Amino acid sequence: MCDSGNGCGGRARLARDFLIRDTFIDEARHLKPLAHGIEFGHRAQITQDALHLLYRTHAHKGLSEVVEATGREAFVSRRRYFAAGHISMLACYYGRVQVIPAVDVLGDDAVRLERGDYDRVLFRQPLEDYVTRVLAATEPALLHIVDLQGARDGAFRLEVLSRCQSASGATPLQVSGGIRTPEQAAALLESGATRLIVGTAAFASPDAMTQFVEAVGSALVIAIDVKDGLVATRGWLASSGLTPEEAVERCQQAGVLRIHATAVDRDGTMGGPDLELYRRLCKTGIAVVAAGGVRHMDDVQALEALGCEGAVMGTALAQQLGIV
């Protein structure tokens, strides 16, 4: 490591300019906090202050990576690495846990609800504008789209997918809300969705999950939305009567590879994830994407330690964007 201001030999300034050799990053999955808490994570993208990211290329005598981290900026060149300083918000972290930004849709707008309550809307924004802001801030590998109206009414709206595709460009979309039949799931996949999250319909009959697996294969993700200790359905307004573990057992028997688990009472609260719930689910061996209450890097690291594959952020991201 050397000071980029005068090449090798000078002492690096605190939280300023650093050149980092490829091998140094490649050999260290997680470096200790440096200067103002700057951390670098293997195969991660920058996760600094969401609306103040800049990228630029720099090469100097074989040193091909440059990271400049001041109070509100982070610069990275050819390969992007995680940098978290005073700003604790993260955009996307691709170490072992993938952080997936969430966009919830109600009516024509992007919204966030508190604890899934349709009468407790934390904010409302034009859908395309919000998607654009999220993508500009995070550059995610996957964007999570929830049609809340579809979840409540029983039919995912194809126009929601179309509008999000127009706003997101080539960013893969994970969609959920009101996908009730294998035919609907297949149609969404054919229309361009990358992953499909199915909840209510997956528990409608003993062979329902198997039918969905046959229709869309590994694109299927089963929603395990936990409310009052049981798996909730129909937009979190009804109960399946199953415990989370019983629901996962059904998933494994049907050949489901991945679940999307939400602690409903934490959703939209910024109260932190339900770590005990995710500890139990990860012990089953199925791939777990956690949602509900995820606030910052500490939460993501806690979920990583439990074995979660991914974490969804909604309200925390909206706060960082200055919306709530």
**Catalytic status, residue 225:** yes
Active-site position among 104, 267, 274, 299 = 104
Please provide the DSSP assignment of 228-297 as one string.
TTEEEETTTTEE-S--HHHHHHHHHHHT--EEEEEEGGGTTTTS---HHHHHHHHTTTSEEEEESS--SH
Can you say whether the dihedral through the CA atoms of 267, 272, 276, 282 is positive or negative?
Answer: positive
Active-site position among 17, 147, 225, 267 = 225
3-state secondary structure of 86: coil
Torsion of CA 63, 64, 70, 75, to 10 degrees: 170
Distance (Å, whole) CA 41 – CA 26? 9
From the CB of residue 38, how many other CB atoms can be counted at a distance below 10 Å?
A: 21
Give the count of alpha carbons within 13 A of 288, CB side only.
30
**Angle subtended by helix axes 182-190 and 158-168, to nearest 10:** 30
Amino acid in position 95: G
User: In whole angstroms, how far apart are CA 321 and each of 47, 49, 89, 134, 178?
Assistant: 13, 9, 10, 8, 28
Contacts of 191 (CB under 8 A, 6+ apart): 158, 161, 162
**Catalytic status, residue 104:** yes
With beta carbons less than 8 A apart as the criterion, state whether 106 and 126 touch.
no
Catalytic residues: 104, 225
